[in-house]
Amino acid sequence: MSSVLYDTPGPRAKRRNVVYTIAFVAVLALVAWWVLAALNDKHQLDADKWSPFVTDSEVWTTYLLPGLTETLKAAALAIVIALPLGAALGIGRLSDHRWVRVPVGVLVEFFRAIPVLLLMMFASALYREFTTVSSDFRPMYSVVTGLVLYNASVIAEVVRAGVLSLPRGQGDAAVALGMRKGQTMLYVLLPQAVTVMLPALVSQLVVIVKDTALGGALLGFEDLLSQNRQITANYGSNTIATLTVIALIYIALNFLLTTFASRLEQRLRRGRKSPSATLPAQAGAPEAKPEAVSGA
């Protein structure tokens, strides 16, 4: 698309682009130089602040990897519980019965409007006051509860949009074959909707992974981010080095998930071409990921 916006550069445009490139490099270099000089000035680039991550395997085995495990555990639990719950809510919202459709709709809209952090804090307070969940697990439970409530309602919308994006004829044909409503949904509509939804669901996983960090910062969850405090307490305030390593792990993890999502999307789009009757191109696609932006 972008190539439509400008002509193929001629000699003058090429020269101008070179000037722009040089100016841009100069600005970037200036910023980088300022940051590095300031860091160096504060002794944050000293080798002994960074070397533990390379030379000392214990910093990985004692802090980073256990923290990453907790992060992944919470994210996996959240998606595994939220998926069936969200599917149920999404189907409930499509119900023919008003008394199912309306309350489910209210529930979904409510949990979508509340910041996930508030849900986590509320869950944490509830577990503290009304249950005997041991304090080892309470942060994890709170984080997972908050993530499930929020993401189930997001997934409900994805499922609903996915089903609605299917051509009417699919449902009508199922009815004509004498299928009951449940059968129509389970055997005809959902299997097709799943292929439309999958990329949106995988990118929702990125949102979930990112949101687990909230628990680490504010609810005492022993996740990857929370290892920052213990590492800096042991290795002489190497805050910059530790945060950089932690951020890189998050980025690598989410980058893998994002790449997986776009691969999946391409593959599905290719697969969709042959039985072209099933889906009009991209019908519900923008609708199918209503919340891809959200999350912290």
Partner 1 sequence: MKLRSVSAAAAAAVVLALTATACGGGSDSGSNGDKINIGIKFDQPGLGLKTPDGTYAGFDVDVAKYVAKELGYSEDKINWKQAPSAERENLIKNGDVKFVVASYSINDKRKKEVDFAGPYFLTHQDLLVRADDNTITKVEDLNSKKLCSVTGSTSAQNVKEKLAPKANLQQLGGYSECLTGLENKAVDALTTDASILAGYAAQKENQGKFKLVGLKMSDENYGIGLKKGDDELRGKINKALEKMVSDGTWEKLVKEHFGPSGYKYEPAPKVQN
Partner 2 sequence: MFDFLDSGQYDLLGAFWVTAQLALYSAIGSLVWGTALVAMRVSPVPLMRGFATAYVNVVRNTPLTVVLVACLLGLNQTLGVSLGADRFEDIGFRLAVLGLVAYTGTFVCEALRSGINTVPPGQAEAARALGLSFTQVLRLVVLPQAFRAAVTPLANVLIALTKNTTVAAAIGAAEASLLMKTMMENETDALFTVFAVFAFGFIVLTLPTGLILGWAAKRLAVKR
Q: Could you give the CA distance from residue 215 to residue 257 in angstroms, rounded to a whole number?
A: 21
**In 3D, which of 73, 78, 202 has the Cα closest to residue 147?**
78
242 by Cβ neighbours in 10 Å (0-12 / 13-18 / 19+) ranks as buried
Select from partner 2, partner 1, none the partner in contact with residue 80, using the beta carbon and a kind-dependent cut-off of 5 to 8 Å. partner 1
Which of 14, 180, 181, 229 touches partner 1 by CB under 8 A?
229
**Residues 247 to 266: which contact partner 2 by CB under 8 A?**
247, 250-251, 254-255, 258
The minimum distance between CB 56 and partner 1, in angstroms, equals 7
110 binding partner 2? (CB under 8 A): yes
Tokens (6 digits) for 127? 């577990």
Residue list 185-204, contact with partner 2 (CB under 8 A):
none
In angstroms, what is the minimal distance from the CB of 59 to partner 1? 6
> What is the spatial distance between Cα 159 and Cα 86, in angstroms, rounded to a whole number?
8
Residue choice 237, 259, 266, 278 for contact with partner 1 (CB under 8 A):
237
Q: Which residue has the tokens 């009951």?
A: 180
Asked whether position 35 contacts partner 2 by CB under 8 A, the answer is yes
Look at residue 174 and give the partner it binds from partner 1, partner 2, none, a contact being a CB closer than 5 to 8 Å depending on partner kind.
Answer: none
Looking at 177-238, list the stretches that DSSP marks H as alpha helix, in order from N- to C-terminal side: 181-183, 190-218, 227-234
Q: 84 vs 286, which CB is nearer to partner 1?
A: 84
Kindly state the tokens that stand for 278.
């099933």
What is the Cα 25 distance to its own chain's centre?
32
Q: Which stretch binds partner 1 (CB under 8 A): 8-16, 99-107, 137-145, 262-270?
A: 137-145
Q: Which helix (H) or strand (E) holds 271?
A: helix 239-273
Binding site for partner 1 (CB under 8 A): 42, 48, 56, 58-59, 61-63, 76-77, 80-81, 83-84, 128, 132-137, 140-141, 186-187, 190-191, 194, 217, 220, 222, 229-230, 232-237, 239
